[in-house]
Amino acid sequence: MTRAIAHVDMDAFYASVEQRDRPELAGRPVIVGADPGGRGVVSAASYEARVFGVRSAMPIGRAARLCPRAAFLPVDMAKYRAVSVQIMGILADFSPLVEPVSVDEAFVDLTGTEPLFGRPEAAVRRIKARIRAEARLTASAGLAPNKFLAKVASDLEKPDGLVVVPAGEEASFLAPLPVERIWGVGKVMAEELREMGVTTVGQLQRVPRAVLARRLGRHGEDLHALAFGRDERPVVPFEDPKSMGAEETFGADCGDLERLRTTLRAQAERVAAELRDGGFAAARVTLKLRYGDFETHTRSVSAEPTQDGLELYRRALALLARLRPSRPVRLIGFSASHLGPPSRGQLGLFEPDAVRRERLAAAIDRLTARFGAGTVVPATLLSRRNRRG
């Protein structure tokens, strides 16, 4: 049976929710993100703001220069999550196989649902109509025989679009598109392909698989398959997260190593709490530093899985020592990945205090759940809280 996979992607989600809830913003450029006088980034931009060149992840200062008359709003994640739950509930009415990709997009496997909802294209139109009627928002969608094609299709006719890729037309659908549309082709890979005379997917289709494999290794074989629209991955509902992390952009570039360490400790404790709340332990820690010119460096290390904030911090601190910041830092970020189930007391083989800290962390989590965040914090973070206060 040919699969029918839809990718449903909300249009300018954060900004659209704000325009819906604030009628005075209808038709106006809306930018959701950091304070325009600060140094953060754009989280979302309405289509009216995009006309001026504003894009997600752009420095907020640049967005303010491009579109000074926009309405700048802070991120209201609690509200967006509530709307996301409503959207995902609508999708679940059409299939038990819904795979959220983020708060504003998801894959839906409509294979075999014809007796209930008619042909898959008709089902997708019903999904879009319900989102418009119940959430008062628009969504773009792609419908195809697999996830890769559905994702590509959903991006082509935004906002409020629907693009269908019929089975058997996968290669011809992809051929005229720029090669950057293929998963895994970023700036570096695109430049390497450009050196081979490849700028469109159709040109990539004409490169023998053996040539791509010889030039690009295993990734070359994957590119060859995707160029013809081959993707066998199933829609997997409620997939465990692959990583958890935290970042902080400083108000002014920070050259104080002690402040970097304190910020890192706070991030490690926050991520450790999220790991414990989700029932995970992390085997890999990654540190990210970004300088004022946006030059970014990362380092990672893998060790025994843990959900202990102090242990995570010690690993990140070792990475900071390896990076040795050469100038003031704009952003510092910490993430934990390679997640799996916790092995209680596993670190006790290497550190006698590990089990005691696990019990202490569990007690702190209970206090936090009862009295709120910040009830108990490491002593090293008290001065940081006082500075902010």
DSSP characters over 356-388 = HHHHHHHHHHHHHHHH-TTSS--GGGHHHHHHH
Same domain, 88 and 133: yes
Q: Are residues 51 and 152 in the same domain?
A: yes
Domain end (from 166, 186, 216): 166
The 10s digit of each residue's pLDDT in 172-184 is 999 999 999 998 7
| pLDDT reported for residue 379 | 56
Residue 276: per-residue pLDDT: 87
Distance CA 281, CA 128 (A): 38
Q: Where are the beta strands (DSSP E) in 19-86?
A: 30-33, 42-45, 71-73
Residue 175: give its domain's CATH number: 1.10.150.20
Same-domain status, 162 and 19? yes
Domain boundary among 166, 184, 201: 166
DSSP label at residue 180: G
Give me the domain span that covers residue 190: 171-227
Based on the domain organization, do 281 and 355 belong to the same domain? yes
Tell me the mean pLDDT in the region 328-344.
Answer: 86
The average pLDDT across 354-376 equals 57
In this structure, are 157 and 181 located in the same domain? no
Percent of the chain past pLDDT 90, that is, above it, reads 63
Question: Is the pLDDT confidence value at 48 over 50?
Answer: yes
Catalytic annotation, residues: 105
Average pLDDT, the chain: 88
pLDDT(300) > 70? yes
Per-residue pLDDT of 235-291, as tens digits, reads 988 767 788 998 888 878 899 999 999 999 999 988 998 888 888 899 999 999 998
Read off the pLDDT of each residue in 18-30 and give the average, rounded to a whole number: 96
**Full-model pTM:** 0.71
Distance from C-alpha of 235 to C-alpha of 5, rounded to nearest angstrom: 8
The per-residue pLDDT for range 125-173, each reduced to its tens digit, is: 999 999 999 999 999 999 999 999 999 999 999 999 999 999 999 999 9
- Residue 19: closest CA among 179, 136, 143, 167: 136
SS3 state of residue 27: coil
Q: For the chain, how many structural domains are there in total?
A: 3
Q: Are strands 30-33 and 139-144 parallel, antiparallel or unpaired?
A: unpaired
What is the pLDDT at residue 349? 44
Domain check: are 276 and 357 in the same one? Answer: yes
For residue range 216-247, what is the model confidence (pLDDT) as tens digits?
888 888 899 999 999 999 998 876 778 899 88
The span from the CA of 336 to the CA of 322, in Å, is 18
Of 201, 227, 253, the residue that ends a domain is 227
Residue 155 maps to a domain: yes
